[in-house]
Amino acid sequence: MNMQMSVYGLVMLIVFAAAQFTSATVNPAYLWIVLAIIIILLNMWVGKSMKNPPKGLNEVWMHLAVFGFITTVVFGLWMAPTYALPLAWLMSFWLLIKGAAAFVSGMASGNHLHTYAGTVFVFVSLFVGAFGAWYFLMGAWFFGLFPLIGGLLAKG
């Protein structure tokens, strides 16, 4: 069992599920900023707990997370209200970022599970619009349930 990945998955599952149910009363743009901060903090925690990661891997994750945060703030607070764009686009964006980072880390470390997970995340990012107003639950499933199950099934 991988305790860090299990905790990461459980926290993300709870946070995205809570975001789904509070999005009716709270501005979803503010929820996205909170979610982005939580994603960055959890990625930093998991990255710090890794033993002997490939060179440059933590930097790749952090650069993508900071890019995601800046994009989330700009899109959520300025572009979405100004141009009436759906905030579900941010779920697709974060799935794409996480998928790219997981794919790169899987290729760099030789972990085929991360490579496949990254490919699935990138593919799923194309279909966020199909979930309509329930896209936060999709985030709970992919950002939370998959790492939780993967962490529980991991060896050692």
* Residue 156 pLDDT grade (very low, low, confident, very high; cuts 50, 70, 90): low
pTM (two decimals): 0.89
Residue located via tokens 């979803």: 28
Q: What is the mean pLDDT of residues 48-67?
A: 86
DSSP one-letter string for 52-98: SPPTTHHHHHHHHHHHHHHHHHHIIIIIHHHHT--THHHHHHHHHHH
Task: With a cut of 90, say whether residue 18 has pLDDT above it.
Answer: yes
Task: With a cut of 80, say whether residue 1 has pLDDT above it.
Answer: no
Task: With a cut of 80, say whether residue 85 has pLDDT above it.
Answer: no
> In the prediction, which pLDDT does 22 show?
95
Task: With a cut of 90, say whether residue 93 has pLDDT above it.
Answer: yes
Task: With a cut of 70, say whether residue 147 has pLDDT above it.
Answer: yes
Task: With a cut of 80, say whether residue 84 has pLDDT above it.
Answer: no
> In the prediction, which pLDDT does 124 show?
94
Closest CA to 121 of 87, 90, 148, 94: 94
Domain hosting 100: range is 3-48+55-153
**Domains in the chain: how many in total?**
1
Task: With a cut of 70, say whether residue 107 has pLDDT above it.
Answer: yes
Task: With a cut of 90, say whether residue 81 has pLDDT above it.
Answer: no
Task: With a cut of 90, say whether residue 58 has pLDDT above it.
Answer: no
Closest CA to 111 of 121, 101, 124: 101
Q: What is the mean pLDDT of the chain?
A: 90
Task: With a cut of 90, say whether residue 20 has pLDDT above it.
Answer: yes
CA 69 to centroid of chain Cα atoms: 11
Residue located via tokens 């860090």: 4
Helices 3-22 and 28-49 cross at an angle (nearest 10°) of 180
> In the prediction, which pLDDT does 61 show?
87
